[in-house]
């Protein structure tokens, strides 16, 4: 017998999308909590961002009749929402499971109505979506550790390394998890990363260039960050000469919004001559590149088959993970944010770098 398709209310979609937008919980944790697919949450999150922009861009000047009708509908909606809010205030707690809020013994509100108010269907009692298992999350953490040590390992060698650690998994499973984590072996090959063919192609500008001062070249990238329950993505913008971290952001989805936010913050510190990145769609998007061209910054994109074009960021990922991520084993996005905030402050101001003559990045960046 085929399973009945689940229909989610607008209130439920908005609630889940808003929680995803807060970036406090990984997508897979929210998916498990609300028993929906991770891709669905990512879609709702994107729709929420676009919807907010649309609200503030609408033009005024509608007819009075339309205004009255809209006002009437608004008051009706307010009344309905107030009734729902009064009931929810008595039951809800931050990040609680909606299923726990349902009172099967309630005399006035039926279970069906309670499900509607909570934005869930009755079939949710029985529905169990396919989310990443505990084993997969453990495998992803181990794969990340192996990749940090050996970023040139492809799926075949990754399978062998996992077998040495008593994890017998097939290659297809490893390939899927690596794609989910955004990991790809670093080695010369015809096509290193997938770019959007609609995005403008920029040349690689750093070949045979001497980097000898701060704000000459900035660079960025994204990496996978494992946690106790799920994972997040981290992006940073770094100055090549001083190794100074100009900005950073975390997100539970690998979209370009958190990359653009990091870029906006970095540009408050100054302007580089050249901004270098790989061919990922987050960095070649018009939304990202437009910020740079508007301030006359030259854009450099890593060439195909160039494994070491972004080597300074790759070295940073190894440092961050071994000195912080693997040691702290963060439980959620809030802990991760606070921990990285402390670590990057230490990294910039106190951590001595051998390549910098055992001085800190801050000393080099602002005193050179």
- Is the same domain home to 321 and 344? yes
Residue 263, in any domain of the structure: yes
Q: Which residue has the higher pLDDT, 281 or 288?
A: 288
Contact 218, 246 (CB under 8 A): yes
Task: Specify if 256 maps to a domain.
Answer: yes
Question: pLDDT tens, 153-181?
Answer: 888 888 998 998 888 999 999 988 888 88
pLDDT band at 114 (very low <50, low <70, confident <90, very high): confident
Same domain, 252 and 321: yes
Is residue 28 in some structural domain? Answer: yes
Residue among 156, 118, 132, 160 nearest 34 (CA): 118
- Count of structural domains, the chain: 3
347 domain residue, yes or no: yes
Report d(CA 123, CA 121) in Å as an integer: 5
The pLDDT, as a whole number, for residue 80 is 60
335 shares a domain with 258: yes
The partner residues of 245 in beta bridges, in order of sequence, read: 238
pLDDT for 308 beyond 60: no
- Would you say residue 211 lies in a domain? no
Q: Are residues 224 and 281 in the same domain?
A: yes
**Same domain flag for 292 and 175:** no
What is the pLDDT at residue 215? 95
User: Does position 118 have pLDDT exceeding 50, yes or no?
Assistant: yes
Q: Are residues 113 and 174 in the same domain?
A: no
| The pTM of the whole model exceeds 0.75 | no
Residue after which a domain boundary falls, among 82, 97, 125: 125
Burial environment of residue 277 by CB neighbours within 10 A (0 to 12, 13 to 18, 19 or more)? buried
User: In this structure, are 145 and 117 located in the same domain?
Assistant: no
Examine the domain organization and report whether 87 and 165 are in the same domain.
Answer: no
- Cα–Cα distance between 153 and 151 in angstroms, integer? 6
Domain containing 158 equals 140-181
Q: Residue 333: which H helix or E strand, with range?
A: helix 333-349
Q: What integer best gives the mean pLDDT of the chain?
A: 81
Q: How far is CA 54 from the centre of its chain?
A: 23
| Band of pLDDT at residue 55, cut at 50, 70 and 90 | low
Q: What is the DSSP letter of 5?
A: P
Kindly state whether residues 113 and 144 are assigned to the same domain. Answer: no
3-state secondary structure of 81: helix
Q: Say whether pLDDT at 213 is over 90.
A: yes
Q: What is the CATH number of the domain that holds 319?
A: 3.30.420.10
Q: Is residue 339 located within the same domain as residue 226?
A: yes
Q: Is 193 a member of any domain?
A: no
Residue 320 lies in a domain: yes
Residues 99 and 146 in one domain: no
Query: What local confidence, expressed as pLDDT, does residue 278 receive?
Result: 84
Q: What is the pLDDT of residue 180?
A: 85
Assess contact for 135 and 110: CB atoms under 8 A: no
> 171 with 259, same domain?
no
Asked whether the predicted pLDDT for residue 233 surpasses 50, the reply is: yes
């Amino acid at each position: 017998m085929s399973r009945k398709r689940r229909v989610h209310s607008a209130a439920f979609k908005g609630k889940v999308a808003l929680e995803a937008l807060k970036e406090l919980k990984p997508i897979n944790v929210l998916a498990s909590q609300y028993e929906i697919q991770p891709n669905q949450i990512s879609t709702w999150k994107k729709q929420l961002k676009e919807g907010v922009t649309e609200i503030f861009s609408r033009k005024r000047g509608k007819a009075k009749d339309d205004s009255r009708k809209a006002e009437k509908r608004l008051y009706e909606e307010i009344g309905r929402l107030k009734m729902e809010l009064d009931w929810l205030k008595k039951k809800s707690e931050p990040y609680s499971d909606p299923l726990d809020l349902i009172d099967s013994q309630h005399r006035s509100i039926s279970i069906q109505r309670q499900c509607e108010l909570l934005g869930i269907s009755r079939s949710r009692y029985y529905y169990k979506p396919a989310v990443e298992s505990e084993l997969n999350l453990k495998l992803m953490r181990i794969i990340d550790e192996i990749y940090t040590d050996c970023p040139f390992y492809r799926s075949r060698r990754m399978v062998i390394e996992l077998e040495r650690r008593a994890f017998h998994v097939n290659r297809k499973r490893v390939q899927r998890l690596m794609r989910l984590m955004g990991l790809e072996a670093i080695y010369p090959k015809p096509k290193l990363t997938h770019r959007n063919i609609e995005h403008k192609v920029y040349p690689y500008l750093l070949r045979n260039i001497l980097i000898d001062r701060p704000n000459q070249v900035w660079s960025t990238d994204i990496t996978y960050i494992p946690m106790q329950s799920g994972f997040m993505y981290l992006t940073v913008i770094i100055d090549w000469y001083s190794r100074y971290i100009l900005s950073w952001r975390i997100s539970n989805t690998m979209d370009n919004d958190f990359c653009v936010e990091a870029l906006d913050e970095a540009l408050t510190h100054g302007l580089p001559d050249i901004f270098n990145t790989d061919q990922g769609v987050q960095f070649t998007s018009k939304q990202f590149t437009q910020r740079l061209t508007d301030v006359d910054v030259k854009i450099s994109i890593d060439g195909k088959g160039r494994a070491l074009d972004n080597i300074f960021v790759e070295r940073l990922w190894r440092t961050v993970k071994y000195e912080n991520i693997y040691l702290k084993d963060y439980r959620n996005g809030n802990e991760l944010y606070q921990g990285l905030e402390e670590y990057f402050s230490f990294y910039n101001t106190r951590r001595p770098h051998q390549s910098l003559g055992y001085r800190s990045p801050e000393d080099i960046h602002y005193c050179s």
